[in-house]
Amino acid sequence: MVPEDNGKILISKALAEQNNLAVGNKITLTHAKLGSDNGVYTDLMKEKSAYETVEIKGIYDIKNASDNALNPTAKKAENLIFSDSQLLVNLQEQEQGVIHSCLIP
């Protein structure tokens, strides 16, 4: 991806295959708050106020993935979506000009 790729994402091959997605397809994303309700992982954000339609720019393959059954779906490597930080701002997950980062082991 390059700086001009606003509104574009990279998804895993597993996610693409599971959802019949391909490069060039457009999908709509919204914000979420992962939590637990009686021991079941769920989205605790019931009312949605931000949506963003993005285009799949590329599909990546995961090498040496470890399937940890204890991880919620949102934390699984195959469900990681790579984008520019503006997508997080548009989805009200991040403030403009403030960078939050995540280290993935």
Note the pLDDT of residue 84: 86
Residue 4 has pLDDT above 70, yes or no: yes
Query: pLDDT tens-digit profile of 54-88?
Result: 999 999 998 876 666 666 677 788 888 999 888 87
* Bridge partners (DSSP) listed for residue 11: 59
Please say if the pLDDT value at position 18 is more than 50: yes
What average pLDDT does this structure show over 35-61?
A: 89
Token pair belonging to 96: 């403009």
Share of the chain above pLDDT 90, in %: 32
102 burial level (CB within 10 Å; 0-12, 13-18, 19+) = exposed
Q: Residue 90: its pLDDT value, please?
A: 84
Q: What is the pTM of this model?
A: 0.77
